[in-house]
Amino acid sequence: MSKNKKMYNRNIIVAGLILFIALITFPVWNYYVFSGETSTAPEIKLSEKAKAAKECVRSKEYMKTEHMQLLDVWRDTVVREAKRVYVSPNGKSYNMSLSSGDNSCLGCHVDKAEFCDKCHNYASVSPYCWDCHIDPKEKK
Amino acid sequence: MSDELLKPEELIKIDHKIPSKDWMDTPVNIRKGMYCYASNPKSVEYVGLPHARAWNPLDDDWKLPENWKQIIHEGFKERLDKFRSFKVFMDICVRCGACADKCHFFIGTGDPKNMPVLRAELLRSVYRNDFTKVGKILGKIAGARELTIDVLKEWWYYFFSCTECRRCSVFCPYGIDTAEITIMARELLNLIGLNIDWIATPVANCYRTGNHLGIQPHAFKDMLDFFVEDIEEVAGGIQVEPSFNRKGADILFITPSGDVFADPGTYTAMGYLMLFHYLREKYGFDITWSTYASEGGNFGFFTSHETMKRLNSKMYAEAKRLGVKWILGGECGHMWRVINQYMDTMNGPADFLEEPVSPITGTKFENSKSTKMVHIAEFVADLIKHDKLELDPSRNDHLKVTFHDSCNPARGMGLLDEPRYVIQNVCNHFYEMPDNTIREQTFCCGSGAGLNAGENMEQRMLGGLPRANAVKYVHEKHGVNMLACVCAIDRAALPPLMEYWVPEVDVTGMTELVANALIMPGQVDRTTDLRGEEIPGLQSDDVKTEGDNVEK
Amino acid sequence: MNVRYMYSLIAVIVLFLLAYAGAEAGVWSQYILGVVIPYLAILVFVVFFIRRIVGWAKSPVPFRIPTTCGQQKTLPWIKSSWLDNPSSRLGVIARMFLEIVFFRSLFRNTKFAVKDQNKPFYALELWLWVGALAFHMAFFTVVARHLRFFTQPVLFPISLLENIDSFFQVGLPGVFISGVVLFAAVTFLLIRRVLIPQVRYISLASDYFPLFLIFGIAFSGLLMRYFSKVDVVGVKEMAMGLVTLHPHIVEGVGAIFYVHVFFVSILLAYFPFSKLMHLGGIFLSPTRNMVNNNRAVRHINPWNYPVEVHTYEEYEEEFRDKMIEAGLPVEKE
């Protein structure tokens, strides 16, 4: 409203505003000052085996957003109904297992760190799958 | 008073239903009994305030100056620049509604514009229109509206339906204080000569004679001399000798003139005289009254900051002229808001005074070391604590007392426990009103901030309903028959309120109770209270008196 | 129907349609929605927020006017209320902290009602406090949690917050309590505003608009997480693009994401011009942020100016004869 008038309680208000700006811009200066880590999303490295298989149990897009639901359903089906075979929409059969045997998820995507963890870490997701399941490779 | 008023049981049928019509489209209805008369032009002129003229709120034509819109707009802008409170309070209300049912006028009248939030919106709507971009662009959608004559009338009516009691401010999550908003609105209204006479004339009186009632110096002395005679009669032959305008006294005493003028305040004034006499006889206490600064209250506060300062200036000026050490202030509500929150800033520094020390107990009043003015409740509480007063609380045994916290000492100061301590030491029967109606949540008498006129009696009775209702509660539960307070406006406003809603309850000041219980040096056969009423159990044939110097 | 909330509802629906259309129209409009508008919104938010605060700061606080809600500090043996009637800076800080973080004044809220035989009474009424506190706390948590999209590597406090927030381990992906609470609280505040007659009567379009908008934000957020999922990795890539000042669009993230971001942008840009500025204003409220030590320490009014007064000399001049006659002392005989 009025220009060129002095501010009252200047020090504390300016300090408050600086704090405000610091909070708002936190991600920016945090990146430039402290992290500097690449901002591009991690690229998934498919294992040779996965590459060779060409397709997963469902489409890539579906797996990208819904894999957790699928695994959840699998878990319940195995534990509650003792069914261990999943038939995908295109008719193929898979072993409903995250980590045991060659026909499981990790049997194909052999490198957990490269295939699972990268994105999970990037998006700060910590699924409790690994509270029980063991990465067969890490075990050794 | 009640011949024109409805009966209490009719008046209390308040409708709190909200009208279906938008408040912006509902024009104000100024009706008899609910408003105060317009200011007398002579009074406005006397203190040099602008646009003095005879006008009537009931007329269509308020005889406004031609450029009134411009005056208001510029005045608005000036105040936004001068008061952060005003600016912030115009901007940040979220209309959560927490304040809505906290206002005694809303509770009493059910008029939605008496909700503090809407009272403030009356100003905010114009603020948005005049001073914010969003309001200018979006208009009514953004809650903005132009200042029209109807809006102005609404301002006048509703800002003289607020007693600046600050109760809403206690509950507001941002501390928005409607008193602050009302103060600004009244300043704006005064710029175009719109005041009420119950404020304007006391202001002019106070400016001229030193007190709101226009009591001239000789008459002021006369009135206190009457009290001297009364005291001789009711206090067992005690001869008190007040002094006036006396240079070299230790302490200057200032109290509202209302207590000099009308019952039951007069008994409090007599109480002061007796207390000072007692202290002089026992401890050589040296205090003087002033006829120039013969007003504690300040109706300028209900007019504008400037008028408040002009009236208040007399306190320090007189203290300086008389060469006293510090000032003792009597029982009053808004007087103490002014002293506590404004006086030193406006008219200080009072470097010609000393930091207040009680000459009797030696207590330093650290909390008033800059303003150099002490409240009588603080002063007396200290005396009692140090056992300097000989008291017989049984002399108040015929009273069942409750205490009404006056708005301003409660919410503009925090004087809550001092008067309670005093009262509980001079009375044996003390009962608190319900928690939500005392201390910082106290309800206004309904007549504060200049609304204590005769013509708005219905408004006053409705506004005072929540307070009266709480009194009624303790009256029915504990048999309370005396409502104590530390405010002269209360002593003028509460008696009719009690008479209307709870006729069995009387009103008293704190110091009256003290003086009732005080055993005066040299008193003989003192069997009545200050009101001249026989104290049960103390009749002359009933030989046991506290004096012990009566023949057995 | 109340025009005031209809206006706001329609405004938010229009905004939704705009964003949805933009997200579907092509990469150029996605760029506008995902990069240009967020940047602009942040800029407007910061610049005008500061301007607003500075605007307030330019008006002085001429008088010390705290609302005292407890016993003042006077005689040493009378217990004073250091918090509700602070006599020290520390007390003010504590009072402000409780006010800002826990809405202490709202916690006092009572409700007036009339019981039988026209007896008014007042009861504690805490729903507004509960709703408001839940809303603000949840909103704060949700915003803080979103930092997982804006930091890389994700900072420990943020993942800790996420773990606490999904403590109950319900559902998949794990339900964040804060998101649900925010949604519930904003719905409650909205319904309250519409249903309580007094509150509806005082409400302006500008009271409904942010509620509808935040409702939209919370709703689209919940939708994205639990129902119509989006590519989270892509979302983070875009967020980090904004943070590192190398913004770009990731294709195939899903329209709902753009709606979410657009709503947030609108909220940010709208913020400084609205009542939402109570966020800044509460710090500057003179009835809460001042010490009640008026009589002990003099407060200075920067614009205090001399006024016309009626001096004692003028007074004596007018009444001298009467004063002398009454035996009152006078300066000039």
Among C55, C72, C310, the residue with its CB nearest the CB of B415 is: C72
Q: What is the pLDDT of residues B227-276, one digit of tens each?
A: 999 999 998 889 999 999 999 999 999 999 999 999 999 999 999 999 99
Residues of chain B with pLDDT under 70: 1-4, 539-552
Q: What is the pLDDT of residue B552?
A: 36
Put simply, the answer to whether C243 touches A13 (Cβ < 8 Å) is no
d(CA B173, CA B60): 39
d(CA C227, CA C217): 15
What is the location of CATH 3.40.50 in chain B? 393-517
CATH 1.20.120 for the B393-517 domain, yes or no: no
pLDDT of A38 higher than 70 = no
CB neighbour burial string for B476-495, b if at least 16 within 10 angstroms, e if fewer: eebebbbbbbbbbbbbbbbb
> CA of A70, closest CA in chain C: separation in Å?
10
d(CA C198, CA C112): 12
Rounded-to-10 torsion of CA B353, B357, B360, B362:
-150
Q: What is the pLDDT of residue B550?
A: 41
d(CA B119, CA C165): 42
Q: What is the pLDDT of residues B87-123, one digit of tens each?
A: 999 999 999 999 999 999 999 999 999 999 999 999 9
d(CA B368, CA B327): 10
Please give the domain boundaries of chain C with CATH numbers for all domains.
3-68+138-302 (1.20.950.20), 308-333 (no CATH)
| The overall pTM is greater than 0.90 | yes
**Number of residues written out for chain C:** 333
What is the block-wise mean pLDDT of chain C (333 residues), using blocks of 10 residues? 83 95 92 96 97 96 97 96 95 97 92 72 87 97 95 89 86 87 96 92 94 97 90 91 91 92 97 95 96 95 96 97 96 87
The residue of chain B with its CA nearest to that of A5 is B81
Average pLDDT of the segment spanning A2-6: 65
DSSP letter string, B291-343: STT-----GGGGT-HHHHHHHHHHHHHHHHHHT-SEEEE-S-SHHHHHIIIII
Put simply, the answer to whether A27 touches C229 (Cβ < 8 Å) is no
Q: What is the pLDDT of residue C116?
A: 64
Number of H helices, E strands in chain C: 14, 2
Among C56, C199, C204, the residue with its CB nearest the CB of B84 is: C56
> CA of C234, closest CA in chain A: separation in Å?
7
Q: What is the pLDDT of residue B48?
A: 96
Q: What is the pLDDT of residue C94?
A: 97
Tokens read off for C112: 């007036």
Among C156, C176, C244, most A C-beta atoms within 10 A, so best to mutate, is C244
Q: What is the pLDDT of residue A43?
A: 81
Q: What is the pLDDT of residue C313?
A: 96
Tokens read off for C63: 């008088």
The residue of chain C with its CA nearest to that of A69 is C172
Contacts of C185 (CB under 8 A, 6+ apart): C131, C132, C134, C135, C138
Q: Which residues of C touch B340 (CB under 8 A)?
A: 294-295
Q: What is the pLDDT of residue A52?
A: 83
Put simply, the answer to whether B341 touches C294 (Cβ < 8 Å) is yes
Average pLDDT for chain A: 84
> CA of A107, closest CA in chain C: separation in Å?
23
Q: What is the pLDDT of residue C121?
A: 75
Q: What is the pLDDT of residue B367?
A: 95
d(CA C218, CA C278): 21
**Exposure of B141 in the CB half-sphere (CA atoms within 13 A):** 14
Tokens read off for B433: 């009103």
Q: What is the pLDDT of residues A55-101, one digit of tens each?
A: 888 888 888 888 888 888 898 899 999 888 888 888 888 888 887 77
Strand ranges (DSSP E) for B426-522?
482-485, 506-509
Among B107, B134, B292, the residue with its CB nearest the CB of C112 is: B107
Residue scoring higher pLDDT (C310 or A134): C310
What kind and span of H or E run contains A49? helix A48-53
DSSP character at residue C7: H
